[in-house]
Structure formats: C-alpha cells, structure tokens
Structure 1
C-alpha cells in the first residue's frame, strides 16, 4: 500500500453502513491485492436469456457473440479485511444493438472508455460473511459464499487458480502464465482500438474509472451504475494462449453460456474502490 495514493485521496472513508454482520466502512476500498481478468465472449442468445428481466442489453463482439469476462482477485489488504472474490460479468448498454470491435482486447478498452456502458455483475462470490453481506445488503449485488485458491504456483512458470462453492463443487479452475510486460502485439491492438492519445492518457492516469451495474432486486429495484476505480503498478495485458493458459468452467449456469476466453489482464498490486450508486463523484 502506498499512503496518499490518489485513488484513496479522492475516495476517502466517508462513513459506515450497518449490516447484518455489523457496521462496515464506506466506500469499499482495496489497498493491496492481485487480480486476474479474463476477457472473452459468450453466446448472445444465451446471455440474453440469463439476464431476462433486466433493463440492460448485452454488447456484442461478433455476430451471435456478446462481450463478457471473469474477475478473480486476492484482496490482501482491504477495508473489509483480506478476502477473495470471483465475478462473472457481461458488458451491457441501456440501448439494444450496441457492439464493439471483434478483437481480443476490445473489451477492456470499452470498460475504461465508455462511461455510458457498464459491466453487469451477473454472478459474484466471496469468502467472508461481512463482504457477502456488504455486497448483498448495501450494494444490491448477488454475492454467494465460495472457497478460493488463487495465484498458486503450479506447472513450471504457470500460476493456478480454483474457486469452489459452499458445498465444495468447482465453479472455475485453471492456470495462466504470467508475463513481465505487455507484448507489443497487444499494445498495438489496444492503441489501434482506443487511439494513441486515449491509450497514453489511460496509461498516465493515476487510476481508471468504470461502472458496475447491479441486477434488479429488492435492494436495488433498478439497474444502476456504481462507480468503480482501479489502479496498479504492474498491468500486463495479452492475448489468451491455449498452449499455456487453461480455464475450466464447472458451474452449470456459467458453462451453459459457452464462454470463450480471448485475452487476460494481470494486475499487481491491485488497488480498487467501489462506491455506492448514490455517491456523486
């Protein structure tokens, strides 16, 4: 943790909320952690069926394929205490028929540069009661309990991950090979999509803003955008390489979406702030 980092200076602890597990500070802040994002696409028709009733629509990457991904993180120093998280998300818009370029790294660029869009939190798992309560009771998300084994060294240079539900059933598992830096091919692709000026601006910014959209429920009766902020010192993005990267999706509802990984992003140390949709920033 770097004291005085702009992401925390601009998002100080401002209050608390009373949960079933007791009081918790707001906003939700992660001071140090490690995160892996896996970007890809799913079958558009199956995605639409899975979010039927929501007032948002999947953003497509290719005919019949919608942009979606996973975020898994080991939050080692956080305002809610150390914990793990797994989220499956879909890129969504309030308008039907939106699309992004059919390129592996188009999704993270859209997440960082399209404030009119957001990532719908389709599924969420954590391993602390207080965090599950915070996400469900305050942020209106749909968190469930899970057990995590993240960023474990496995075969050769590979790093493994595995997440299972309360009953011990696998949700996802796999491995990836860390790299020291973003390959030129990936950098060129992101520059072509975002434009040199915008990509340089993103790289120089002390943190990046995005939006997470909740599913409709009793706490949040409408789909709302919650502002999120991320920062890291080491940010490596690259294409998915099936020779060294593996992902197995065992959870039936997720498996049915036909997720195909196309790129990944590895962030260390991962800093993160999640604000309530009512917060004005």
Structure 2
C-alpha cells in the first residue's frame, strides 16, 4: 500500500496542529498524486523584489540568471484531503555569489544534492481553505486560493491551467508526455553530478530537499523545512519550445522573464513536508 512506503514510515503523523479551520495532522503527507515541475531561470533584476526583507541570496546560473521554477501538483490522496498546488520558487542560499551550471539538469540536481541550499517559496496557491490555513498558519508560507484545471491528457501532452478566484490566469500551458528520461539527459546528469552521487540518489528510498519560508509573523526568519519526495514514474527531459508551452498571466510573475529549460513528471507523487521545528 502507498501509505506503507518508507517515506511515511520514517516520517509518521505524530500529532496535530490547531488552525482557524480546525485541527489538522502533522507532518503533511501526500500519499498519491501527480506532479509537473518546470525548471528554468529568471531575470535577476526582476527577482530582487521577491527577496526584499529576506536574509537570503538567489543562486545564479553561471550566465547570471536566477535558478527558479514552478511546481504544479494534483494531490489526490493526502493527510489534508485531496487538493491542488502551484508554487513558484527560486533556489536560495544564505551566502551571496553561489552559482550552478547553465545545464538544464543543474537545478533539479542541486535541489537534491546541495542541502545547504533550499527552494524559497516565493508564491503559493491551493484550492482548499484548510490547506491554505495549514500552509499559512502552521508552515509560515504565503498561500492563496486559486482554481485548478490540471493534467488533462490530449495529443500526447499534459495540460494545466491555474487561475485566480476572479478568473485571471496565473499560468496556462502543456508539456509533452514522455515515458522515460532520455539517454542524453541521463548522460548530462552523469557529467554534472558524477557516477557516485547518481548511484547514491538511485539507492535512496526517497529524495531529500529543503523549502525555505519567506519572513512573516508566523516564522519571523527564513528557515529551512525538510521535505522528502518519492515517485515510481520519474521522467526528466529538456523543455522543447516546439511542443511545450508555458504562459504566465499573473502580473508579478509575468515580469520576471522566466525561461523554461527542463520539465519533470512525477507519479505517484509521494511527499512529506516537515515543520522547521521538527527534529532532524
């Protein structure tokens, strides 16, 4: 059973938190779902405003662009009930001047292999009030309500559309569906990470990572929350301008000149998010 996966056995639900919407279990579990991760880069001058008041620095590609991406998720079975999520993040460090390669695989590998860094949750949307409350009141994130139309499959492509409650589009697009990671991408991962690190990642029952909150009244400093992900179908490939599409309609994000370079499809998308206070 999905609930018996090691990622949940090692991170069991051990209590509950009190929210404005009522009690909720901790930590946050997703047992089944699908995720689409779009990796890319953005204009550093336009991203600067997202870091105002934060004690963090963006990790840059060597070309000078900010490493950033979107996570689009259909969480079909979760501790907080079925829901959807859209997150825009940037890779961040507590030290200035950190860089990664311009390779399309550099950002997803850095998220798994550089524990001293984390993904700063810049913008976040969900479609249920209970999950918005959990993210905002307990995890110190900045979630908003939105409407989701995710992962309809047509003409060998996965579609997605997320909009604000007033109907304004946040993002809209599609990604070609692939059955496996192309060999060319695997070789680029091997060149970037090295054989030993790739073997170690492959042996892990789940992949570790960190999400960093923005400063708020709930969490008054930038803190790293441990996350874990696992998937049986994990396909990473280069973004293909001829067949893939991403239209950004939300004004704050539309101005950052986000350019996709890679896309990853995960299913089932198993996920655990631990509060920063959770003991390691």
Where does residue 66 of structure 1 map in the other structure? 66
Where does residue 17 of structure 1 map in the other structure? 17
Instruction: Find the residue that maps to 1:223 and give its secondary structure.
Output: coil
In the alignment, structure 1 segments of 5+ residues that lack a partner are none
CA contact (8 A) 2:40 2:262 kept: yes
Where does residue 275 of structure 1 map in the other structure? 274
Residues 1-281 of structure 1: pairs in structure 2 closer than 5 A: 1-154=1-154, 156-281=155-280
Which of 216-225 and 39-48 deviates more?
39-48
CA contact (8 A) 2:37 2:70 kept: yes
Deviation at 1:50, TM superposition (A): 2.3
Give the RMSD, CA atoms, in angstroms.
Answer: 0.8
For residues 236 and 273 of structure 2, what CA distance do their matches in structure 1 show? 22
Deviations 1:238-261 (Å, cap 9, x if unpaired)? Answer: 000111110000001001111000
Deviation at 1:161, TM superposition (A): 0.3
For residues 29 and 83 of structure 2, what CA distance do their matches in structure 1 show? 12
Instruction: Find the residue that maps to 1:266 and give its secondary structure.
Output: strand
Deviation at 1:157, TM superposition (A): 0.9
Q: Which runs of 4+ in 1 moved over 4 A?
A: none
For residues 75 and 46 of structure 1, what CA distance do their matches in structure 2 show? 31
Instruction: Find the residue that maps to 2:13 and give its secondary structure.
Output: coil
Instruction: Find the residue that maps to 1:200 and give its secondary structure.
Output: helix
Instruction: Find the residue that maps to 2:192 and give its secondary structure.
Output: helix
CA contact (8 A) 2:60 2:66 kept: yes
For residues 145 and 3 of structure 2, what CA distance do their matches in structure 1 show? 31
Which of 76-85 and 185-194 deviates more?
185-194
TM-score (normalised: structure 2): 0.99
In the alignment, structure 2 segments of 5+ residues that lack a partner are none
Aligned length: 280
Which of 201-210 and 1-10 deviates more?
1-10
CA contact (8 A) 2:3 2:31 kept: no
For residues 18 and 2 of structure 2, what CA distance do their matches in structure 1 show? 29
CA contact (8 A) 1:16 1:23 kept: yes
